[in-house]
Amino acid sequence: MTERWEPAAFKARVDEVLHRFVAGEADLLAAVDPALGPVAEQLEAAVAVGKRLRSAFCYWGWRAARQPESEALLRAAASMELVHAAAVVHDDLIDDSPLRHGRPTVHMALGGAVAHHPRAADAGRSLAMLVGDLLMSLAGQLFATSGLPAAYLGRARPLWAALARDLIAGECLEILHTGAVPDTAASLKVIRYKTAKYTVEQPLLIGGALAGAGEGLREGYSAYGLPLGEAFQLRDDLLGLFGDPRHTGKATCDDVRGHRPTALLAETWRIAGPGERERLSALLGRADLDEDGLEAVRGVMRRLGAPDRVEKMITVRVGEALGALHDLDVPAPATAALTALAHSAAVRLS
């Protein structure tokens, strides 16, 4: 294994697989009836952009197990992005987020497509739910038809059940904890199940299972993947409130208006005094929260040093991941790629 990791080139290859596959499925959907055109368009829009981190981790789960470059593996790895696209559509729907990548989210776009409906907003949300369901189904289809031998696919198939179960568990936990008294341990569990596992650990494990990786390597993948996945979501927590919308493509008020159980909010609450908690309670969960109110929340967080605490949590977790990677007996190119991916997952602007 002598190839140098080139993220842009890899992303372009995954984009080509995704766009061609989903465009074909969108055409088949639209062929059923012209009225399905807007739904087919949103199916394609859901995979139009992305970092393609999940496919990269799946790819390197395969390569670190000393398997060769494979176009079939690339297709299998690309299926991870359809899982992510499905999760994003459903997550935006659950959170009623208006923007993603600087564009209307799927349920917002489809609400406009059914303006004639007596309950247009509800109809748009229902259509978006079905788009997300279809994307998850297509993920399994792309994986199964990747071209890898059936025996290889059979080794990895049980992990798909775990991926879906953990992802849904995390989403459910987030809903159950939304609006509750902020708690750091609860927030970290939401992070682990909603994001960390399906972003890093499970793609690595699926790539490793496809490659026939041994138990020791699989354990190493988890030791690297779980803390790194948590660092990824902790960075999202910070960007969600303190990031530049021009880079994140998302509204900065969503987490506060939704009173979501982020670790950033939980750490703020943990160290806040009675007066600060009273101020936060008056602002969290308010649908009419304006920029002044949002800045007031940011001000409390800054005064208490909560963003710095979350930054330290990120640093600790990246260190754990890189330490676990150092202990793995994998080829040097895989070590270099997984090191670069760790930094790109945790140190970013969007």
Read off the pLDDT of residues 288-320 as tens digits, 9 standing for 90 and up: 999 999 999 999 999 999 999 999 999 999 999
> DSSP label at 272?
-
Is the confidence at residue 164, as pLDDT, over 70? yes
Q: How confident is the model at residue 1 (pLDDT cuts 50, 70, 90)?
A: very low
Is the confidence at residue 102, as pLDDT, over 70? yes
Is the confidence at residue 138, as pLDDT, over 90? yes
End-to-end CA distance of the chain: 31
Please provide residue 33's backbone torsions phi and psi, each rounded to the nearest 5 degrees. -165, 135
Using an 8 Å Cβ cutoff, are 42 and 88 in contact? Answer: no
3-class DSSP assignment, residue 145:
coil
Q: What is the pLDDT of residue 115?
A: 87
CA distance 46 to 49: 8
Average pLDDT over residues 85-93: 95
Is the confidence at residue 19, as pLDDT, over 90? yes
Measured over all CA atoms, what is the biggest interatomic distance in the chain, rounded to whole angstroms? 62
Q: What is the pLDDT of residue 2?
A: 45
Average pLDDT for the chain:
94
Q: What is the pLDDT of residue 350?
A: 74
CA distance 74 to 259: 39
Q: pLDDT tens digits, residue range 24-55? A: 999 999 999 999 999 999 999 999 999 999 99
Q: pLDDT tens digits, residue range 314-350? A: 999 999 999 999 999 999 999 999 999 999 988 887 7
Is the confidence at residue 251, as pLDDT, over 80? no
Q: Of 17-26, 37-46, 155-164, 244-253, which gets the smallest average pLDDT?
A: 244-253
Q: Of 2-16, 155-169, 247-261, which gets the smallest average pLDDT?
A: 247-261
| 217 contact partners, CB below 8 Å, separation of at least 6 | 64, 65, 208, 328, 329, 330
CA distance 52 to 77: 9
DSSP bridge partners of 104: 99
Tokens at residue 330, please? 């994998």
3-class DSSP assignment, residue 100:
strand
Q: What is the pLDDT of residue 211?
A: 98
Q: What angle do CA 143, 135, 209 make, to 5 degrees?
A: 25
| 125 contact partners, CB below 8 Å, separation of at least 6 | 93, 107, 111
Is the confidence at residue 248, as pLDDT, over 80? no
Is the confidence at residue 249, as pLDDT, over 80? no
Q: Cα–chain-centroid distance for residue 323?
A: 23
Q: What is the pLDDT of residue 243?
A: 86
Q: What angle do CA 87, 171, 56 make, to 5 degrees?
A: 40
Number of helices and strands in the chain (H, E): 17, 2
CA distance 146 to 277: 52
Tokens at residue 6, please? 């080139």
Amino acid at position 255, single letter: D
Which of 217-248 are b and which e, b meaning 16 or more Cβ less than 10 Å from the residue's Cβ?
A: bbebbbbbbbbbbbbbbbbbbbbbbebeeeeb
CA distance 143 to 302: 45
Average pLDDT over residues 118-123: 91
Torsion, Cα of 25, 27, 29, 31 (10° steps):
-150
Helix axes 7-32, 37-45, angle to 10 degrees: 170
Please provide residue 70's backbone torsions phi and psi, each rounded to the nearest 5 degrees. -155, 125
**Domains of the chain and CATH, by start:** 7-346 (1.10.600.10)
Q: What is the pLDDT of residue 180?
A: 95
Helix axes 37-45, 106-113, angle to 10 degrees: 160
